Amino acid sequence: MIARLRRREFITLLGGTAAAWPLAARPEQVGKLPTIGVLLAGTRQTHGQWADAFVQRLRQLAWVDGNSINIEYRWAEGHDERLPELAAELARRKVDVILTSATPPTLAAKRATSSIPIVFTAVGDPIGAGLAASLARPGSNATGLSNQQKDTATKRLELLRELVPGLRRIAIMVNIDNPAAKLEIHELQAAAATLALQVTMMEIRRAEDIAPAFEGVRDRADALYVYFDPLTNINRLRINIFALTARLPTISAFREFVATGGGLASYGSNTADLFRRAADYVDKILRGATPADLPVEQPTKFDLVINLTTAKALGIEIPPTLLGRADEVIE
């Protein structure tokens, strides 16, 4: 009888303990998935393919959205003034890591938090922007992939000379509020002087500045170099329509400027590849690595893309040797 009573008391005690498990031995933390905040300057339409490359690589690393992780997106939709509040939202949510692309979103994230790890992609000058003490040892909560490569802007100008025989005058469109642009513009001006090219600057700050910028360059340029950042990315189709109307061949750094924007040519780092590699950074951080100790890496995959449809519309015949070097030809 006593043994039976003690057994009943033990079962009752065990049942009471089990009922308390959701607050103790069966804690919420076990079921709480790590959250990745994605802060991008564009829209799902302009940046979605890159975000998809990131998610696909995460899946290969066993991080599946809604299963082993949660992903929260914040899209600035081309309005950089929204970035600080969007970054602050992610900081308030206490996400486990923030993914960014380009300098303005990364700076917004860095100003919003000094503790949440930040993985950036396609930042032009991480050291100059104050995001990293050095490429080898960033030393803060931000690390990732830079698209800073010496001489790539010069190579784009040289390609433009091959595309446009007799090129003498070049217009450069740049979002002057993007701090990362300064490094490339400096290289471009030096390269233009070496190549004996006359330069006209087309400074913009918002989409409404694009049309007046083309009015200001009328009859003063033989071709257009577009500094590719979130503002010119979102407006790439508009820019190329204006350029085609003005009979200006265009070149930029990213494939999308040509493939979905109608530009003549692009040469630069493969952005989808940078986003895929960013997933490896996130994987390491979620498994305990510290951003301060993860070196900033450079692009390893570069693409030359040429649009034959645009070339035909401009009356330009692409040299066969240049077509042979292209990674992608759009017809």
28, 137, 150, 218 from 267: Cα distances, Å: 49, 29, 13, 25
- Helix (H) or strand (E) segment spanning residue 10: helix 2-19
Distances in Å between the Cα of 278 and the Cα atoms of 58, 94, 187, 202 are 9, 20, 27, 32
The answer to whether residue 129 scores a pLDDT higher than 80 is yes
Pick the closest to residue 265 from 212, 214, 224, 215 (CA basis): 224
Where is average pLDDT lowest: 11-25, 88-102, 220-234, 301-315? 11-25
Cα gap 4→258, rounded to integer Å: 81
| Residues 95/117, Cβ–Cβ less than 8 Å | no
pLDDT in tens, 221-279: 999 999 988 899 999 999 999 999 999 999 999 999 999 999 999 999 999 999 999 99
Angstrom distance (rounded) from CA 101 to CA 123: 7
Write the pLDDT tens digit of every residue in 287-321.
Answer: 999 999 999 999 999 999 999 999 999 999 999 99
Q: Are strands 265-269 and 302-307 parallel, antiparallel or unpaired?
A: antiparallel
pLDDT given at position 73: 98
Instruction: Give the 3-state DSSP-derived string for 150-167, with helices as H, strands as E and coil as C.
Output: CCHHHHHHHHHHHHCCCC
The pLDDT score that the predictor gives to residue 32 is 87
Q: Cα(228)–Cα(252) distance, rounded to whole angstroms?
A: 6
- Scanning the structure block, which residue is given the tokens 């450079």? 298
Instruction: Copy the structure tokens of residue 129.
Output: 């922007």
Output the pLDDT for position 26. Answer: 28
CA 24 to chain centre: 42
For 46, how many CA atoms within 13 A lie in the half-sphere containing its CB? 22
The larger pLDDT score, comparing residue 11 to residue 228, is at: 228
Buried b (16+ CB within 10 A) or exposed e, 143-178: bbbbbbeeebbbebbebbeebbeebeebbbbbbeeb
Dist CA 235 CA 261 (whole Å): 8
**Pair 280, 294: CB distance under 8 Å:** no
List domains and CATH numbers for the chain.
Answer: 32-148+271-301 (3.40.50.2300), 152-269+303-330 (3.40.50.2300)
Q: Among 10, 94, 82, which Cα is nearest to 39's?
A: 82
Higher pLDDT, residue 7 or 315: 315
Which tens digits make up the pLDDT trace of 168-213?
A: 999 999 999 988 888 889 999 999 999 999 999 999 999 999 999 9
Residue 6 has pLDDT above 50, yes or no: no
Residue 23, token pair as written in the block: 């607050």
Amino acid residing at 279: A
